[in-house]
Chain A
Amino acid sequence: MSSGVQTPSADGYLLGVEDLKVSFRTEDGVVRAVDGVSFGIKPGEVVAIVGESGSGKSVTAMTLMGLTRSPNATFEGRALFDGRDLISATDEELRKVRGGGIAMVFQDPMSSLDPVQRIGKQIVEQIRAHDKNISKAQAYDRAAELMERVGVPRARERLRSYPHEFSGGMRQRVMIAMALSNDPRLLLADEPTTALDVTIQAQILDELRQLRDATGAAIILVTHDLGVVADIADRIVVMYAGRVVEQGTLDEIFYDPQHPYTWGLLGSIARIDRDRSQRLPAIPGLPPSLLRPPEGCHFRPRCPHAFDRCTQVPELKSRLADAPDHLDRCWLEPERKRALRVVGDQIGLASEQAVIS
C-alpha cells in the first residue's frame, strides 16, 4: 500500500473489513460495541485481534459470521470476503459461507459442542450442510481423517463418543476438526485457548499454526493474551472500547508500540526474566461504558499521558515515516512516545506519579 490509509478491499486481500460499526439497543440505551473497525487479512496470514473484555473483539469476529444478527442489532460498514459483503448478505448467503469458506472455533470447548449428540454426527452434520452430494459413509470417513489430522488418537472409534467423554483440550481439537471440515479459507478463532491449561494451550496453538502451513488458510485470532499472539501472529490489531487503537506487524507492535494502551498491555505480561519482587503492573481504572463512552480518545480517562487534544478523536493512520502500515490512534508525537513508553528498563504504561516527576 502506498499510504497509511487502509484500503483492505484492494487486491490480494481475502477479507477486507471497512469501517465496521455494530451497535445493540439495550434497555439502558444504545451500546456501540464496534465503532469503525477496519483491517484486512491476506491468504495464509495470521492476524490477531487483541484487547481486554468488552473491547469489541469478539463482537467483530462474530459479526463477520453473522452471529450477532438480532432485532436489536444494527450494522454499518462492509466486510468483503470473496467480493461479497458479509454485512449486507442475506441470511441464506451467509449460511453458505458459515462453516464453509469461513469457519469459527469458539472460546469454551466445554459448552460449544452439543452434549447429547455423538462427535461424529456433529462433524458430519457440518460436512453435509455444505456438500449435499457426499454420502454418509464418505462424510464419516472424512470426519475420521479430520480428527486424525488435529491429533485425536483412535479417531475412528472416537467418532462414536459424546463430548463429555473428552477432555477440554481434546474437545477443542474436535472443534478445530469441525471447523476444518469444508477446507475454510478463513478460520476465526475466538479465544481458542482461554479455557485450557497452559500446556494444552501451546499444543492447540501449534495445531493452528500447522494447519495454516498445510492448508494456506488465513486465521483471525481473537485474544486478550499477548503471549499467545507472540507465538503465532503475523500482524496484530489492538482494540480498545470498540475502536482499533493500533495495528501493525508483530515486530512493530512488540518493539515499537505507538499507543499508550498497547504499552500497558505489553507492560502487564508476566515475564520470567523480570524481577519478581515487584507487583505485576496493571493498567489503572476500568474500560469505559460503551453506553456513554468518553469524548475523544476512548483511552483518555486511563491514560497518564493525556493532554488537551485528546478530547478529539485521533484518526487511525500511520505517524511513522518508515512504517506506512503501522497505524495508530494517538495524538502524541512519535519521538515523545519513544521517551514516554520506557518504564524502568522496558516498555510499559507509566503510573501517574511518574508523569508528574
Chain B
Amino acid sequence: MSRFIVRRLFSMLGVLFAISVLTFLLFNALPNPALRLAGRFASAAQIAHINHQWGFDKPVYIRYFTIMKLVFTGKVISYDQQVNVDHELLQYLPVTVSLAIGAGIIWLSTGILFGVLSAWRAGRWLDRGLTVLALIGVSMPVFFLGALMSYYLGDKWGILPAGGYVKLQDDPAQWFVHMLMPWFALSVLFIGVYSRVLRSTILDTVNDDYVRTARAKGLTERQTMTRHVLRNSLIPIVTLFGLDFAAVIGGGAILTETVFNLHGIGQYAAQSVEALDIPPVLVITLFGAFVVVIIGAFVDILYAYLDPRIRL
C-alpha cells in the first residue's frame, strides 16, 4: 500500500508538470502577449517592462521558468485592476470551498440515500418516484433552479437570504443561512446522477456470488447489504465524488456562484475572462487543474484502500 501511495504521488507530480507546460503553451500562443497584458493605454516603457518581467524577450524554456516563478511566488499582477492575483484568489477561495464542502456533503449523503432506497425498492413506486426526481434534477439547469429558489425563498417569501456571502469567522449562523440555498441548488444535479449510478451498481452487485455467500453464511439481510453490497457498490461513487468535488473547487460552479452572488473562484474566472485580464485566467486555470489532479490522486489512494485489487 505505501509503495502504491509513493508511486501515485510521483505520477501526480509528473501530471502537474505536464499541465503547467500545457497551460504555458496555450498562454504563449497569444499573439503579442505583452501588449495584451499591458492594456490599451500602456506606454512603451510599460510594455518593455512587461516583456522583461514575463520573459517575452527570452527563449521559450527560460520564459516557462520565469512565468512559473511569478505564479508560484505570488507575484502575478492583474493588468485590469493592478492587484495581486494570488491574493485575490485567496480572497475568493473560502467562498468556493464553503460552497463545495457543504454541497458535497449534501449531494453525497442524499445521493447515497436515494440510490439505496431506489435499489431497495427497485421497480416499485418509491423507485419510480425517485427516478423521476433524479431525471428532473439532472435536466434542471442550475441557473434556472437557482433563480427560482432565489426569487421565491429569498425575495418573495423571505425565508432565506437571496444571495451574498457572510464570512464564517464573522458570523457562523449567518454564513450557514446564506449558504443553504446555493448548497441545495448545486447539489440537485449531482444527487440525480449519484443516485442513478448507485442504484445500478447496487442492483448489479446484489447478484454477485459473494453476496449469495454472505447470505449462506447466516448474515442478516441488513449485514449483507451494508458490509458486502454497499461496501462494493460505493467504490465507483468515490471516484465520481473526487472528480466533481475538485471541479467545483477549481471554479466549476460558476453558474451557482453567479446566481447567488457569491464571489468565488468561478466568478473570478468569469470576470477575468470578460475583462480580457490574462494573468488571473492563467493562474485560475493552473489552480483549477492542480486541484483536480491533487484531489484525483487522493481519490486514487482512497480507492486503493477500498479495493485491494488495485494496490499493485
Residue positions of A touching B, CB distance < 8 A:
65, 67, 91, 95-100, 103-104, 106, 108, 111-117, 125-126, 129-130, 162, 164, 175, 178, 182
Contact = CB atoms under 8 A, between A and B. Distances in A.
21 contacts: A67-B215, A91-B221, A95-B218, A95-B219, A96-B218, A99-B218, A99-B219, A103-B216, A104-B216, A106-B213, A111-B209, A112-B212, A114-B232, A115-B232, A116-B235, A117-B228, A125-B219, A125-B223, A130-B218, A175-B213, A182-B218
Interface in B195-247: 208-210, 212-221, 223, 227-228, 231-232, 235
Contacts of B232: 114-116
A97 B228 CA distance: 20
B210 A112 contact: yes
B88 interface: no
Contacts of A175: 213
B31 interface: no
Given A112-B210, A114-B214, 8 more contacts: A95-B218, A98-B216, A99-B218, A99-B219, A100-B218, A115-B232, A116-B232, A175-B213
B-side binding surface: helix, strand, loop or mixed? Answer: helix
B209 A129 contact: no
Given A106-B213, A162-B309, A114 B228 contact: yes
Contact of A111 (B208, B223, B306): B208
Q: Which 10 A-B pairs have the closest CB atoms?
A: A99-B218, A111-B209, A126-B217, A99-B217, A98-B218, A114-B210, A162-B308, A129-B218, A104-B216, A112-B209
A98 B306 CA distance: 28
Contacts of A117: 227-228, 231
B111 to A, nearest CB: 21
Contacts of B217: 98-99, 125-126, 129, 178
B220 A95 contact: yes
Interface in B119-158: none
Given A103-B216, A108-B209, A116 B223 contact: no
Nearest to B219: A129
Contact of A164 (B208, B212, B231, B309): B309
A108 B208 CA distance: 11
B307 interface: yes
A106 B218 contact: no
Interface string B257-269: 0000000000000
A97 B220 CA distance: 12
A95 B216 CA distance: 8
Interface of B: 208-210, 212-221, 223, 227-228, 231-232, 235, 306-309
A111 B207 CA distance: 11
Nearest to A126: B217
Contacts of B216: 65, 67, 98-99, 103-104, 106
A115 B215 contact: no
Contacts of A98: 215-218
A135 to B, nearest CB: 19
Nearest to A66: B215
Nearest to B307: A116
Contact of B212 (A97, A100, A106, A126): A106
Nearest to A95: B218
B212 to A, nearest CB: 6
Contact of A106 (B209, B219, B221, B306): B209
B213 A125 contact: no
Contacts of A113: 210, 213
Contacts of A115: 210, 232, 307-309
B212, B235, B306 interface centre (most CB from chain A within 10 Å): B212
B218 A126 contact: yes
A113 to B, nearest CB: 6
B210 A111 contact: yes
A162 B305 CA distance: 12
Nearest to A94: B218
B259 to A, nearest CB: 40
Nearest to B213: A112
Contacts of B307: 115-116
Nearest to A188: B216
Nearest to A65: B216
B8 to A, nearest CB: 19
B57 to A, nearest CB: 57
B121 to A, nearest CB: 12
